[in-house]
Structure 1
Amino acid sequence: MAQTDIVLVSLGSTTGLRAADDEFAGALRRAGATVEMARAEPPPEGLRTLALVDLAWAYAARKALLAAGDARAVVYSTTTAGLLATTPAAVRFDALSAVNRPGRHGIWQRPVERRQLQQAPLVLPWSEQSMEGAPEDARERAIVVPVPVAGSGAPAATRDVAAVTYAASPEKKGLDRVLRAFAAVRREGEDLLVAGADPEVLPTLPDGVRSVGRLPRDEYRALLRRARVFVTAPRREDYGIAQLEALADGCRLVTTPAPGPYAALPIARELDPRYVAEDDAGLARAIRAALDDDGERYAAAAYEALAPFAPAAVDALVAERVLPLLLR
C-alpha cells in the first residue's frame, strides 16, 4: 500500500473547526495529495480549568495521530492539537494560546506553543491577525491560508428576514448586547432570528426575536440568503466564519470590534464603517442604518472583498505554495 502523503490531526472541538479542517483536507486532495484525517475524540465534560481542558484535547489528538497510518507529513490543526507532539510538524490555527489563554488559563500551554511554532517547518495561520503573539522567527515560515468562503446559492427573491445573529456561545457572541440594541430600534414587523444555539440555553427573548435553533448547514445558509442584516457583538472573535458567510450570502454585516484575530472586522470597516459600532448605543444606530439601506452597492463590494477567500483562490494557494513545502 502506498504511503499517505499527509495526516491532518483534527482537534475539531467546535463545528467551525471541523468544517475548516474538512475544507483544508479537500484543498490538499484537489492539489493531488492523499490525506488521512486523524480526528481527536472529545474529552470528558466537566473539566474545571482551560489548562486541564487543553491537556485533555492535546492527549486526544496525540492518540488520534498514533492510530493513523504512516505519512510523509503531519499537519496539526490548532496549536492545542500539537502540544504533546514529540516531533516538529506543520501547524494550522485560527488563534494562539499566547493571546486567548491569559494568566493561569495558559500557564503551561503558552511556553509549549512557543517552542512548537519555533520548531514547526511550516506555519499556516488562517489570517494575518492569527499571528498575533507568535515568535518572530515563525513569521518567516508562515503562509496565510484562509478558510474558503463563497455564496451558498442565489439570493432569495425577497429578503423577508430583517436580521439574523449567530449565538453558538451566547456570552462570547454578545447576544445580550445584540438583543438590547435590536429592541431599541426595531420597528413593527421586523424580526431578529437567533441561530446556532438550543433554545433552552438562551435568555428570555423579547418581542420580535425568536430562536431557530441549530439548523442544518444548508438551511442556515438559506436563511442568510433571506436576511437583510447579520448582527453580532462578540466579546472575543477568533476568526468570524459566520460573519464571512453572511457577507458571502449578501447580508450587511453589523458588528462591534472585538479582541482576537477577527478576520471579518477589517472587511466590515472597509465596506461601511457606519456598521461597526463602538458601544451599545452605536450598535443600535448601526442596526437601524443597515436595515434602512436597500442599495446594491454593499453586496457587490463584499463580493470583491471576499475574493481572497474564494475556494478557487484557496485551492491555488494550497497547490502552488503549501503542498510543495509540506512534501519537500
Structure 2
Amino acid sequence: MPIDLPEGVYSGFSIYGDDVIVPGVSSLGEHWSSPRLKPVSKKLTNYTFMLQLEGECSFRINGIEEDLTNGSLLLISTGSIMERLDQKFSYNHSLWIGFSMRHALQDEPELLEAWEDFTYAKQQFMPKHKSLLKTIVNEHASPGRFSEKIASAAFQAFIYSIQELVHESPTVSAIPLELTQNPTVLLAIDLFEREYGDHWDLKKLAERLAVSESKLTKAFRTATGESPMASLWKIRLIKGYELLVSSSMNITQIAMLVGFQSSQSFATAFKRSFRATPRDVKTGNVQQVEPREFLKSHIVKDSIHSHV
C-alpha cells in the first residue's frame, strides 16, 4: 500500500510504513522537518490527517495556498494535489496519519457517503485528536500484546471525532466507551490485562501512566462509571473465572495468580460478582457464563478491594 506524506510533501524523522498495525491505515508518523527542501507536489492516495504542533508550514492544496501554524489541523481527501511551498521556520514538528476512509467506514455506508464530495478542511485541533493519534503512533512504535486492539479502537474513535468536526453532526460510536473516551483509560486497561497479577494501587498506576491520581480517577469515572481499582478487580475476577473453567490449578493457586492475597478474599469477591462460588464453577455445579459479558452490566463495588 502506498505511503502518503513522507519523503514527498513532508520529510524528516518519522515512524511510518505499509505495515501499520491498524487495518486501513497506510502510514503514520511524527515529523521534525527541515526547511532546506525543494518545493514538491504529490497526489495523495488516501485521506491524510495532519496536526501542526510547532513551527509553520505553507502548502498549496488543489491550487489554494494554506499556512499551517501551531495547533492547526488539516484533513485532506484522497486524490488531492498537495504541494509543499517555502518553509518559514527553521524546523516544523507535526503528527500525521494516512488512512483509507472506505476501509475505515466499510460497515457505515451512510456515513461514508457523507465524505464523497469532501476535499479538505483546515481547523484548530482539539486535545483528543492529538491524544488518539499519539496512542496509535506509540502502539505502532512499541507494539505489545494488545497493541492492535488498542490502536484499532483509538483509530475508530479518531474517525468518529473528525466526522463530528468536519460535518458538525454528532455521531454515536459503537466502540465500547471505555476504549474511546480517554487514551489514559485505554492504556490502564491494557496494563491490567497484561499485569493483572501484580500489586497495583492508585498511586502506582498513576505513576506508571504519568498522570495525577485525581485525573486518572476522573477519567475512569467518566469513561467506565467505576474507579480504576474496580476495573482491575473486574479483570482479575474474569481471569479467575476463565482459569477455574480451563485449568487444572486449584482455587488457591488461581487466587494468588490473578492477584488476590488469599483464596478466601477471592471467593468473597467472586461470589459477590458471579452469584456463585469458585468451587461451584470449578466442579461444574452451576451453569457456566461468559464472564466478560456477565460483568459488563455489573459494576464491581469499590469496597471489594478491601478484601484483595
TM-score by length of 1: 0.27
- The structure whose Rg is larger is 2
TM-score normalised by the chain length of structure 2: 0.28
